[in-house]
Amino acid sequence: MLKRKNEQAAIISKEHEEYLRSINRERHFIRITQILIFIFGIIFWELAARKDLIDTFLTSSPGAILNLIVKFINDGSLFRHLLISTMETIGGFFAGTLGGLLIAILLWWFRRLALILEPYIVILNSLPKTALAPIIILWVGMGYSGIIATAASISIVVTIMTLYTGFNGVEKDKIILLKTFGANKFQILRKVIIPANIPNILSVIKVNIGLSWIGVIVGEFLVSKAGIGYLILYGSQTFKLDLVMMGVFVLGVIAAIMYFLSSWLEKKIIKY
Amino acid sequence: MEYICELRNVSKRFHTINNETKAIDDISFKVRKGEIVSIVGPSGSGKSTVLSLIAGLEQPSEGEVIVNTRSIGFMFQKDQLYEWRNVYKNCLLGLEVKNMDNEENKIKVKRMLEKYGLTNFKKHYPSQLSGGMRQRAALVRTLAIEPDLLLLDEPFSALDYQTRLSIGDEVGTILRNEKISTILVTHDIPEAVSISDRVIVFTERPAKIKKEYEIVFDDLSGERTPMKCRNTLTFGKYFREIWRDLDVEKEE
């Protein structure tokens, strides 16, 4: 691959050069437009707020949000709330993803168990898991553990379903090939079922990051004394829309960071 | 004469909820050590079932399958290279499963890759290879465990015509030189005739043995290769006879 690239670089034609330039131009145009939309959106919002075109009581304004962020950063509380929510999310994410993976493996291993449990899993999957949050929190605890359990409960069922389907979707001849070498069931799991599902697992990871945040925010709405969800709820109950907007903004930033992290991970892992 | 594998009055039925199909019916044949046997027959006639029975992937409904092998190599229509492993790692797969991936065998695999022109592609992933190279890599993976019986299930039929001829020629020559006992399932008559010592013709399902041909080229000088066989007069004779056995066009 690399070699081929070099060859091309050596004998690049005018037409090809022009083609590459046009692709670059297009890419720049899209990126710049994306940034401009953001900037103009913010400016418009701020101007509209200052000229009293919108009710800042309901919409807040970028300047007010920024001031609040600076204030929260300075007294260290933003970091504290963020840390709590992030830790809860990571906990819920790992519990949901690893738990789901483990259960999917068990179901694959014991096919009969999978067939027996199928209707329950399907129903559990179509149920809005947030409806279970109050029950889970009562069962597990009114603190961090309850929130983590809520986050895990939201991602675990869909993880089981996706991975179990993926495990059973591995091409049959790929498994037969291993059997002709005399492979046992554990080797089949390790050498073909899991590796063939790495792309699946990675996409589950991407989805689960988002789902875990949902679980954490819902959990914090219900019971917490700290965290981004708590800030948002507290803000809305006291009509401090600046606080609500700040919470949402911080969540947006975190979501973007986590998205890029998982894309990066995907590129690192999948080389073929 | 030593036999590597023998089928005695073997029948196989497959069951589904709705019905039962008899795939093969009372089949008996033997494969000598070092012999290359082809099975030809109409599509869906149970040819592949015979291979599954010999490989132990299925159990016969009646009869006996006797196999005198240490290890069996199986090649499929598609190469079944694992796309997440590079060529070298793919070739080690069988050895890994058998816990035989020691230094000595790894060196052997590297030498085979060199022999089959894949050394420069060792670190490539299957998606970066041509169909012919992929099938060659699959062959290395199969031969790495030193099978004493090779089962080939239409291994070239997914390749384009030209690659198919050249890979068929290559593999046929390798099998003959290394004296590997082989059973080749195919519906390509020229392929069967050019590669094998014996061709077994199956009937429609449930498959029975319709005819058997010992393939001997007496009008051939020097080393026997599939390509040379294709240019002999005997080749045409075998082709016509087997073609008639298969009775492909009934309307004539």
pLDDT score of B250: 52
pTM of the predicted model as reported, rounded to 2 decimal places = 0.84
Q: Which of B72, B84, B127 faces A180 most closely, judged by CB atoms?
A: B72
pLDDT score of A2: 46
Q: Which residues are within 8 A (CB) of A137 and not within 5 positions of it... i.e. 6 or more apart? A: A146, A147, A149, A150, A219, A222, A223
In chain B, which residues touch A (CB < 8 A)?
A: 55, 57, 71-74, 76, 78, 80, 82-85, 93-94, 96-98, 125-128, 145, 151
Distance in angstroms (rounded) separating the CA atoms of residues B73 and A205:
38
Q: Determine, for residues B127 and A183 on separate chains, whether the beta-carbon distance falls below 8 Å.
A: no
Q: For residue A245, what are its two tokens?
A: 């907007």
* CB-side neighbour CA atoms (13 Å) of B125: 9
Do B151 and B50 contact (CB within 8 A), yes or no?
A: no
Task: Tell me what percent of the residues of chain A surpass a pLDDT of 70.
Answer: 96
Chain B neighbors of A179, CB-CB under 8 A: 57
A239-250 per-residue burial string, b: 16 or more CB within 10 A, e: under 16: ebbbbbbbbebb
Domain ranges of chain A: 2-54, 68-269
Q: How far is CA A20 from the centre of its chain?
A: 34
Which contiguous run of DSSP H or E holds residue A173? helix A172-180
Q: Determine, for residues A176 and B84 on separate chains, whether the beta-carbon distance falls below 8 Å.
A: no
| Domains of chain B listed by start with CATH number | 3-246 (3.40.50.300)
pLDDT in tens, A98-126: 999 999 999 999 999 999 999 999 999 89
B135-158 per-residue burial string, b: 16 or more CB within 10 A, e: under 16: bbbbbbbbbbbbbbbbbbbbbbee
Residue type present at position B82: Y
Q: Does A179 touch chain B (CB under 8 A)?
A: yes
Q: Which of B72, B84, B94 faces A198 most closely, judged by CB atoms?
A: B84
> What is the band of A9 on the pLDDT scale with cuts at 50, 70, 90?
low
> What is the band of A10 on the pLDDT scale with cuts at 50, 70, 90?
low
Sole residue written with tokens 């999957």: A125
pLDDT in tens, B73-95: 999 888 999 999 999 999 999 99
Give the three-state DSSP class for B28: strand
Concatenated DSSP letters of A44-71: HHHHHHHTTSS-HHHH--HHHHHHHHHH
Please provide residue B75's backbone torsions phi and psi, each rounded to the nearest 5 degrees.
Answer: -120, 140
> What is the band of B2 on the pLDDT scale with cuts at 50, 70, 90?
confident
Q: Does A196 touch chain B (CB under 8 A)?
A: yes
Q: Determine, for residues B57 and A177 on separate chains, whether the beta-carbon distance falls below 8 Å.
A: no
Enter the DSSP assignment of A192. Answer: I
pLDDT score of A1: 43
Residues A139-154, mean pLDDT to the nearest whole number:
92
Sole residue written with tokens 């096919």: A111
Q: Determine, for residues A182 and B126 on separate chains, whether the beta-carbon distance falls below 8 Å.
A: no
Among B129, B138, B125, B137, which residue's Cα sits nearest to residue B83?
A: B125
N-terminal to C-terminal alpha carbon distance within chain B: 43
Distance in angstroms (rounded) separating the CA atoms of residues A223 and A150:
11
> What is the band of A3 on the pLDDT scale with cuts at 50, 70, 90?
very low
Do B95 and B107 contact (CB within 8 A), yes or no?
A: no
Please provide residue A138's backbone torsions phi and psi, each rounded to the nearest 5 degrees.
Answer: -65, -40
Tell me the CA distances in angstroms from A90 to A208, B107, B221, one per residue in order. 10, 45, 73
Among A200, A102, A97, which residue's Cα sits nearest to residue A148?
A: A97
Among B79, B88, B122, B119, which residue's Cα sits nearest to residue B106?
A: B88
The answer regarding whether domain A68-269 maps to CATH 1.10.3720.10 reads yes
